[in-house]
Structure 1
């Protein structure tokens, strides 16, 4: 610990940690997957459509700005007491350094950042009843954001000048860990949620596609991202439902895998962002029969998540971004079977990397190194060792094409029913 020179931070994006004058939280944090502010997001999009271009995406319930409008409407006493608004990882930074700071990639997910100029948007803040004084200071992910407090340095056995890097939101940190820093470097992050991430050297918003065009954790870089609320968490949910461990379930499903499942699984357990922006959507198994077995349920879950990534790929193509291969990171990347299903559905080679299941943490460590040494990103943010390249199986690509269309048709048929069901119980 005495040799540590820098610490990097990464964490879930879009959250709202609301602080008073004494830097104490005013209420429990509101997290990325909280959909209560759907009305506020719709109002922002309808009243201020021009802001979606500068913010890189239309307002969605998960973003921080609609959350604050919800607080203003439902908890006005809390809203009036807000001195600072931090993202979750930046509250950790505050406790470590005493500084209220965020990085560009995490700030990008608030809907308050002007992505092109990499600065807070006074207009976006004003329409949510806020101003710059309530925002953290902005730094690049590679820049120092402060120094570890002396009492913590002593407690942890560290030197007195440990730099805390700006860090990154989890998606951008994963890109840094994977070395995805050049134009059209692409990867899938298959964690609790899911992202299809493509690095760009220019800011290329396409809000009409429901893609996110955000600042990267490196200066003068941005990214396009399709963000899905439901990733590997769907498999964890299924394992809990079946009261079984994940690995044996995957092994059983892989053993019987020959073709697409007869079932269709809509993976929208927590609503969905890209490509639907539908907080009312929910999970569905379609096609159950008395012969349906446990392994078929698991395969359908894996395919349903893969189909949602196919929707994400389609959004990128509509925005003019073409992919030739994709990296794979996150906890779901540990399964070569799931990677094969993804390759078959997407009709693209997938590359698995050493340590890819811990990509965002590795990215945060790289940002700590850059902040403490001043090295060039290209020297540090290289690709990890390739473990495996998984190519699609042509005959399965052909079989999955009609199943993907059925998946899309099923969602569109049920979309009005999702909203009716929500209204009937709320």
Structure 2
């Protein structure tokens, strides 16, 4: 059976996964990077590459490369690297989390809104285009040395294949590429001090780029390098949410919802933005400032007893909106939003009500998505730390009144491996995901709990409206 490798290069490390065509993970390895204030702004691409070579060699031990067919890469969205004509970095990678580009972000947003209003306009400090502009302003003397601006995943794909001139739909969205018309809009070089020749060719994620040319022990030259994807989208692929109507909720530090629609979702408030699916569909997504960060901050890491107690308390009649910072961005925009909760709760009641509150936010998000898209949410897959709580899964299935599928493998590296298979072994991404994703468990709604949560959900929405949040 053919095998496939997915590489994930994140802010804090590199991970490789070797999987077969049924989605079984045969080997994995990871290496961590030290995290500091400086590494949130800039990192060395060469450090990434050295880490990638080491984790690749680990998963390719014992002749594992014999049936290896393809490899792909996922990494952070919005991270940018200027390279010269020898494909060498002119500057450390300017990370998505670098907040120094506020002025440039505002300029890009204003310019795009005027000259390409139907395209991507939600530029900010996490976007790639403002980082290109910032680099030119900071180092004008280096403009003549620039050959290309590339993204984090592109650098690793370039090191593997020798091709730095091509990227994919997802990585270029926040660099200004218009995924509707599949072209770079002219305002980038006509209204901003950038050059057209600095911008890469763009292909759908999963497109074969060429054979491996890198010298890595165990990695043969018969292996195909496949165009990559941003980390959030790769995790969505690993969840199995790749067909219209299917959606993924990841509850980590924040609550992130991504799915697939037939048509692009137009949101006048800018809560959702659309990636382009390799098969021509759309991949809308949005992120709430609520999530699971309140769990460890309020209750620590020893949660077994609380989860056991929560299972006996469902449903509570308490309201708890566990927002740990001021301001909400999805499914409603409310800069003034703050945490609120019913008074006098025990720890177990507060813990349970917090899980219910996040589930109410998730339901409201899906209602907004259906309203804006005119399409039905047919399946919800889930990932993130919160999916390890059976009590929380039960709450969510009954609040949503839909089965919730917890997936077995949901890492970005696994998503990249599926992407590698989609363009080389299978005929499409949907076929690859159907074969390679595995449901660990499904939690179905129960009529009595659904009815109870229906009433509680509307009480929660009423409280949001009373406070002027939604």
TM range (shorter): 0.7 to 0.9
Match of 2:154 in 1: 90
Measure the CA separation in 2 of the matches of 1:370 and 1:296: 46
Measure the CA separation in 2 of the matches of 1:174 and 1:133: 32
* Among candidates 307, 318, 325, match of residue 261 of structure 1: 318
Pairing 1:141–2:205 present = yes
Q: Call closer, same or farther: CA 1:390–1:133 in 2, change over 3 Å.
A: farther
Task: State the 1:69 CA deviation.
Answer: 4.3
Task: State the 1:398 CA deviation.
Answer: 1.0
Match of 1:366 in 2: 418
Pairing 1:328–2:381 present = yes
Question: For the Cα contact (< 8 Å) 1:328–1:351, is it kept in 2?
Answer: yes
* Among candidates 235, 243, 253, match of residue 174 of structure 1: 235
Q: Call closer, same or farther: CA 1:179–1:409 in 2, change over 3 Å.
A: same
Deviation by residue 1:82-137 (Cα, 9 ceiling, x = unmatched): 543333322322333332232112322x1511112223223245444323332333
Measure the CA separation in 1 of the matches of 2:273 and 2:178: 13
Match of 1:225 in 2: 285
Q: Call closer, same or farther: CA 1:128–1:315 in 2, change over 3 Å.
A: farther
Pairing 1:59–2:154 present = no
Deviation by residue 1:326-381 (Cα, 9 ceiling, x = unmatched): 32232233333223333444x331321441543x4333222211233363444323
1:228-243 equivalences under 5 Å are 228=288, 231-232=291-292, 234-235=293-294, 238-240=295-297, 242-243=299-300
Match of 1:132 in 2: 196
- For structure 1, the 5+ residue unaligned runs are 414-426
Q: Call closer, same or farther: CA 1:406–1:215 in 2, change over 3 Å.
A: same
Deviation by residue 1:254-302 (Cα, 9 ceiling, x = unmatched): 4444315343322547x65434567x778x443475x444334434543
Q: Call closer, same or farther: CA 1:118–1:11 in 2, change over 3 Å.
A: same
Q: Call closer, same or farther: CA 1:294–1:49 in 2, change over 3 Å.
A: same
Question: For the Cα contact (< 8 Å) 1:56–1:214, is it kept in 2?
Answer: no
Match of 1:317 in 2: 370
Match of 2:396 in 1: 342
Query: What CA RMSD, in Å, does the superposition of the two structures yield over aligned residues?
Result: 3.5
1:11-410 equivalences under 5 Å are 11-19=75-83, 23-24=88-89, 26-31=91-96, 37-50=101-114, 53-56=117-120, 58-71=122-135, 75-76=138-139, 80=143, 83-100=147-164, 101-108=166-173, 110-124=174-188, 126-152=190-216, 155=217, 157-216=218-277, 218-228=278-288, 231-232=291-292, 234-235=293-294, 238-240=295-297, 242-268=299-325, 273-275=329-331, 284-287=338-341, 291-331=344-384, 332-345=386-399, 347-358=400-411, 360-373=412-425, 375-382=427-434, 384-386=437-439, 387-391=441-445, 393-407=450-464, 409-410=466-467
Q: What's the TM-score once normalised by structure 2's chain length?
A: 0.71
Q: Call closer, same or farther: CA 1:348–1:300 in 2, change over 3 Å.
A: same
Measure the CA separation in 1 of the matches of 2:139 and 2:332: 31
Deviation by residue 1:182-208 (Cα, 9 ceiling, x = unmatched): 332223233444332232334454444
Give the secondary-structure state (helix, strand or coil) at the position aligned to 2:153: helix
Measure the CA separation in 1 of the matches of 2:105 and 2:146: 20
Measure the CA separation in 2 of the matches of 1:93 and 1:166: 8
Q: What's the TM-score once normalised by structure 1's chain length?
A: 0.78
Q: Call closer, same or farther: CA 1:250–1:381 in 2, change over 3 Å.
A: same
Measure the CA separation in 2 of the matches of 1:380 and 1:406: 44
Q: Call closer, same or farther: CA 1:265–1:300 in 2, change over 3 Å.
A: farther
Task: State the 1:395 CA deviation.
Answer: 1.0
Measure the CA separation in 2 of the matches of 1:306 and 1:39: 36
In terms of fraction of residues, the more helix-rich structure is: 1
Measure the CA separation in 2 of the matches of 1:119 and 1:295: 53
Q: Call closer, same or farther: CA 1:257–1:158 in 2, change over 3 Å.
A: same
- For structure 2, the 5+ residue unaligned runs are 1-63
